[in-house]
A and B are shown apart, each in its own frame.
Chain A
Amino acid sequence: MSLLNIVKKEVKELLTPATVLPVVLMFIIFAGMGNFFGEAAEKAKEMPKIGLACNDDGNASKIFVDVMKAYCNIVTWNNSIEEVKERKGFALIEVPSNFSSNIENFSKAGVKIYWVINDIGIANAFPYETIKNIIEIAEREIANNILEERKINASFVSNPINEEELTVFKEKEIDVSPSVILQFFSTQSTTVPIIVMIIILTSGGMVITSMGMEKENKTLETLLTLPVKRSNIIAGKIMGAAIVGFIIAMIYMAGFGYYISSFSGEKIDLSEYGLKLDILDYVFISLSLFSSLLAGLSLCIVIGAFAKNYKSAQTLTLPISALAIIPMFLIMFKGFASLPFSLKTIIFAIPFSHPMMAPSFLLLDAYSIVVAGIAYSFIFSLICIAIAAYIFKTDLLLVGMMRNGKKLFWKR
């Protein structure tokens, strides 16, 4: 009962408009950015608007015009830049009268492109690239036509080698390129570490801040003189922070997930090659996340015990941030397997690393390292909780460390 009361109190203290509002704001920003990029990507798929002024009626220019008509939205056939501007076109392409005759004489034919910039911004660059690609298609079509006229198999000449790709992965031969598989894993090794880092930082920061605030307001002294076990106070603080951290992380994840999904193109389904997580894998991931969160929060309770007030609590969150961010970057950009032994040991020793790596390891059937990580995190938690329980039973919590009457940390 007393544990539940402490948990409820912690949730009430931590889940305030001041803590939730910035997170909701981040959600709105992420969602807004995702929406923007999604719209930009959709817009990029639209046919670009151009003006096409063709002054030639030869065969090559006909092919050129046909390709441009097929892939572009021709807003004007006049040689008028004003009309293109008016109709929000991106370019005016002028085909000169000697276009076809030059090609027939094996002389380079020229087209003049007047680019029109309607707006600045990264997303506005897409149509220009698209138009250049379409011109390349037209070029290939004209080249093919030249070859066909000379009775040469154009499709063979342009593509004489037939590539058959087989990637050996997980002792199987998979008929996809390695980049497809690596792209699949890079999605895993980017999203999961970021989410885990957010959960750890949010919840951990809350535990430390809560301890700092309790000391600053002297509410901890009141709490410690109530008929409630020290272990319940520690457990209540951990559980309260975990609940609030989880809620906040869910809001972040929703926004971040929407943002990330706006970038991903076609979904890659590699489940037929065994690259999918089953129920057992999700159990392992949950256990890994839970044990890591428990380890993180237990460590934060120990660190928080040394917080003198709210301000010092903020400083004490730095080591936790470093412990969460370092493995995140290493796992995201380098991958665990390619690290030197010394870094591997450090990454393994940081309990937050394990849920970041777990999905990739499970996809590779490397269960032993996932189980070892879970066991390690639980042992780490138990040690931290034992240290926290010791601190809560001694003078350390309230008077800090002293030697010969002089404070090493603080004295109140």
Chain B
Amino acid sequence: MKAIEVKNLVKRYGEFEAVKGVSFSVEEGEIFGLIGPNGAGKTTILRILATLIKKSDGEAKIFGLEVGINDDEIRKIISYLPEEAGAYKNMTGRQYLAFIASFFDGKEILQRGIEISKLGDRIDDKIENYSKGMVRRLLLARALMTMPKLAILDEPTSGLDVINANEIREMIKRFAKEGMTFLISSHNMLEVEYICDRIALIDAGRIIEIDEPEKLKEKYDAKNIEEVFIRAIK
């Protein structure tokens, strides 16, 4: 079964089309990246798949469950990490993870979350005292501790320093090896090239290329995905 199947997905705001008939599919255990500049429609696609906003047209399925119809079931098997998301500042890291874990079955979830976050003793500090990197690690732990079948991460390393960003990339790769499927959006093309099995280049609401990073580089005779993107949109 495909983890994600999207066919002719459209999102309109009045007469404006933010997403213009996008189609792609993601295999189970795959890290799939949506790459494109700001305003290309990446976050809109992620939000539709995360059941946050409604599609205007087309079809989207997550592990066979139809988005817009089986939303309650979909929310049990996915997790979504929005770009630049925060957490409840008056809670400690532990309290925040416990709050999220309380919506799922399984006593081990909280402990797993604490381990993934790698916050050590700081897990019992208030979130308002965390650095940006610590908050992002906590949020990623929140997204992964429930062991979702699909993790949708919007700009997972946005605004982080090199060390924190690298830690998060390694974590994503480790969980993918264990069978978790990832749908990642980023405008950092070098990052996506490094962690994604396959990528879709998206521009102005349309997918212009889908393939493995190496094959795309070969096709466009480019040194990196940035060059691929520039040549593809010409």
List chain A positions with a Cβ less than 8 A from chain B: 1-2, 5, 8-9, 12-13, 16, 216-219, 221-222, 224-229, 394-395, 398-399, 402-406, 411
Contacts and interface: CB of A to CB of B under 8 A. Distances in A.
A218 B54 CA distance: 18
B13 A405 contact: yes
Nearest to B14: A404
Contact of A225 (B14, B52, B83, B86): B52
A227 B109 CA distance: 15
Contacts of A403: 13-14
A177 B88 CA distance: 59
28 contacts: A2-B103, A5-B103, A9-B99, A12-B90, A12-B91, A13-B91, A217-B85, A217-B87, A217-B88, A217-B89, A218-B84, A218-B85, A219-B85, A219-B86, A221-B52, A221-B80, A222-B81, A222-B85, A225-B75, A225-B80, A227-B104, A228-B103, A394-B54, A395-B53, A399-B53, A402-B14, A405-B14, A405-B18
Contacts of A218: 82-86
Nearest to B86: A217
Contacts of B103: 2, 5, 226-228
B43 to A, nearest CB: 8
A399 B56 CA distance: 14
Contacts of B38: none
A5 B95 CA distance: 11
Contacts of B102: 1-2, 5
Contacts of B100: 222, 226
Contacts of B13: 399, 402-405, 411
B137 to A, nearest CB: 15
A399 B19 CA distance: 15
A403 B91 CA distance: 38
A110 to B, nearest CB: 73
The B interface, classified by DSSP as helix, strand, loop or mixed, is loop
Contacts of A228: 75, 103
Given A2-B102, A12-B88, A227-B103, 12 more contacts: A2-B103, A12-B91, A12-B95, A13-B90, A219-B87, A222-B82, A224-B52, A225-B80, A226-B100, A395-B54, A402-B14, A404-B14
B47 interface: yes
Contact of A398 (B53, B87, B91): B53
A235 to B, nearest CB: 15
Contacts of A222: 80-82, 85, 100, 142
Residue from A2, A224, A402 having most chain B Cβ neighbours under 10 A: A224
A222 B89 CA distance: 14
B88 A219 contact: yes
Contacts of B16: 402, 404-406
B170 interface: no
Contact of B50 (A217, A225, A402): A225
B72 A221 contact: no
Interface string B43-76: 0000100111110000000000000000010011
B113 to A, nearest CB: 14
Nearest to A15: B90
Interface in B15-37: 15-16, 18
Nearest to B81: A222
B186 interface: no
Contacts of B52: 221, 224-225, 398
B79 interface: yes
Contact of B88 (A13, A394, A402, A406): A13
A16 B85 contact: no
A216 B79 CA distance: 20
A403 B95 CA distance: 40
Q: What 4 A-B pairs come out closest when comparing CB atoms? A: A405-B16, A217-B86, A404-B14, A402-B13
B129 to A, nearest CB: 14
B145 interface: no
Contact of A5 (B50, B85, B87, B99): B99
Interface string B105-122: 000000000000000000
A224 B85 CA distance: 13
Given A16-B90, A218-B84, A218-B86, A225 B15 contact: no
A402 B91 CA distance: 34
B78 interface: yes
Contacts of A405: 13-16, 18
Given A227-B75, A227-B104, A395-B54, A221 B82 contact: yes
A225 B78 contact: yes
A6 to B, nearest CB: 9
A228 B103 CA distance: 7
A226 B100 CA distance: 8
Contact of B47 (A217, A219, A398): A398
A47 B130 CA distance: 64
Contacts of A411: 13
A302 B18 CA distance: 26
B107 to A, nearest CB: 14
A224 B75 CA distance: 9
Contacts of B15: 404-405
A398 B91 CA distance: 24
A225 B103 CA distance: 11
A227 B65 CA distance: 15
